[in-house]
Structure 1
Amino acid sequence: MIRLAGGDRSALGEIYTATHAKLFGICLRILNDRKEAEDALQDVYLTLWRRADRYDPSSGSPISWLAIFARNRAVDRLRTGKVRKGAVPVEEASDVADVQPRADALLEDAEQSARIHHCLGALEEPTQSSIRSAFLEGQTYAELSESTDTPLGTMKSRIRRGLAKLKACLETDPS
C-alpha cells in the first residue's frame, strides 16, 4: 500500500493479484450480477489507485480495508439505481459479514503472540534463532544446517527439542 501510494504501478498489480478474488466475491454477493460486480470491482481499483495514500495501517489490514471499500462501492451502486434487474435489495447488504476481527479476538491474538515471544526468548540462543529461521523466515532444515555449519541431524534435533520446550512453556499457566 505504501508503494502504491507512492505511485508504483507494479504495486497495484500485486495488490490486485492478492485481493481480486475476495473483493469480487463481496461485490457479487451484494449485486447478484457478474457484470455489475466486475464494474464495482473496477471502480474499487481505480479509486484505490487515486487514493491509496488514505490507507492508515493502524485502522486494520489492507485486505480488511479493501473489503470494506468493495462492500461500500457495491452498496453505492445499489443506492444510485445503476444496477440491472436481479440485484439484491440494498437492505440485504447489511448481512455481508464484517471482515474486521472482533476486539476480543485481537486482544487474544496479542496475548498469545506475546506469550510465544516470551517462551521463545527463554530458549538458548542457537535453538531460538534456528526456530525463528525455520518457522518465521521459512528456511528449511538443510538451509539452516548449511548456513550455520551444523550437521543436519543436529539441526533437526535442536529444533525438535526446542519445540518441545516451547510447547511446555506455552502449556504452563501464565499467571
Structure 2
Amino acid sequence: MTDDPLAPLMSRIAAQDRAAFRALYSAASAKLFGTLLRILGNRSEAEDALQEVFTRVWLKAARFDPERGRAMTWLIAIARNHAIDRLRARPDREDGEETEQLADERPGVEAGLIARGEARRVVECLETLEPDRAEAVRGAYLGGLSYQQLASRFDVPLNTMRTWLRRSLLRLKDCLDG
C-alpha cells in the first residue's frame, strides 16, 4: 500500500501545483471518466461530471490522507459520489431509478486491483467477513448499489446496512494493514 504513484501528486496539488494537477489528470482521467460513464450512462453528462470532479479534487486535495488509502481509491470515491448526486438531482427520474442505473456487473474497481496484484489480498480479507457482509460490501463498492437498495436486498433496516458497511470496511482496513 506504500507504493502509490499518485499520492505525491496529491500533496503537490494541495499546494496549488498546476503541473502536478495536469499529471494527475493524465494519469486518472480515463479511469474516472469510465466510472462516471458507467454510473451516469450518458457520455456528455459524464464529461461534464469529470470536469466537476477534478474541480473538487483541486479544491479538496489537502484532505487526501495517504495513510487511509490509495489516491486512486479516493478519486474514484469522489467521482462515484458526484455521479450519484447528479442522478439524484435529475428532474425526470422516478423514485429508485438512480439506484437501478448504479448496478453494473462489468468488472470495475476489482479489475484494477487484479492488475495491481492486490486482488488476492482483498479477496482473502473479504473472506474473513460474514458472507452477507462481504456481499453487501461488494454491492456497494464494486456494484454501485445504494444503502437503500442493499437494505432492501438483505431485508434489514437502512441504518443496519450502514452499520454493516462501516464495520466491514474497518475490518477490511485492519486486515489489509495487517
Normalized against structure 2, the TM-score is what?
Answer: 0.51
Per the alignment, residue 57 of structure 1 pairs with: 66
Per the alignment, residue 95 of structure 1 pairs with: 103
Among 40, 55, 60, the residue aligned to 2:49: 40
Per the alignment, residue 69 of structure 1 pairs with: 78
Shift of 1:6: 0.8
Shift of 1:103: 9.8
Shift of 1:89: 3.3
What runs of 5+ residues in structure 1 fail to find an aligned partner?
A: 110-175
Whether the 8 Å CA contact 2:28–2:72 is kept in 1: the answer is yes
Taking only the aligned residue pairs, the percentage that are identical comes to 43
Find the residue that maps to 2:67 and give its secondary structure.
helix
Cα-Cα RMSD: 3.1
- Provide the rounded CA distance (Å) in 2 between the counterparts of 1:94 and 1:59: 25
Among 121, 128, 132, the residue aligned to 1:105: 121
Per the alignment, residue 29 of structure 2 pairs with: 20
Aligned residues: 106
CA deviation digits over 1:91-144, x for unaligned, max 9?
1355357838689815979xxxxxxxxxxxxxxxxxxxxxxxxxxxxxxxxxxx
Of structures 1 and 2, the larger Rg is shown by 1
Per the alignment, residue 7 of structure 1 pairs with: 16
Whether the 8 Å CA contact 1:75–1:93 is kept in 2: the answer is no
Moved over 3 A (4+): 96-104, 106-109
Find the residue that maps to 1:29 and give its secondary structure.
helix
Find the residue that maps to 1:59 and give its secondary structure.
coil
Find the residue that maps to 1:56 and give its secondary structure.
coil
Normalized against structure 1, the TM-score is what?
Answer: 0.52
Shift of 1:19: 0.4
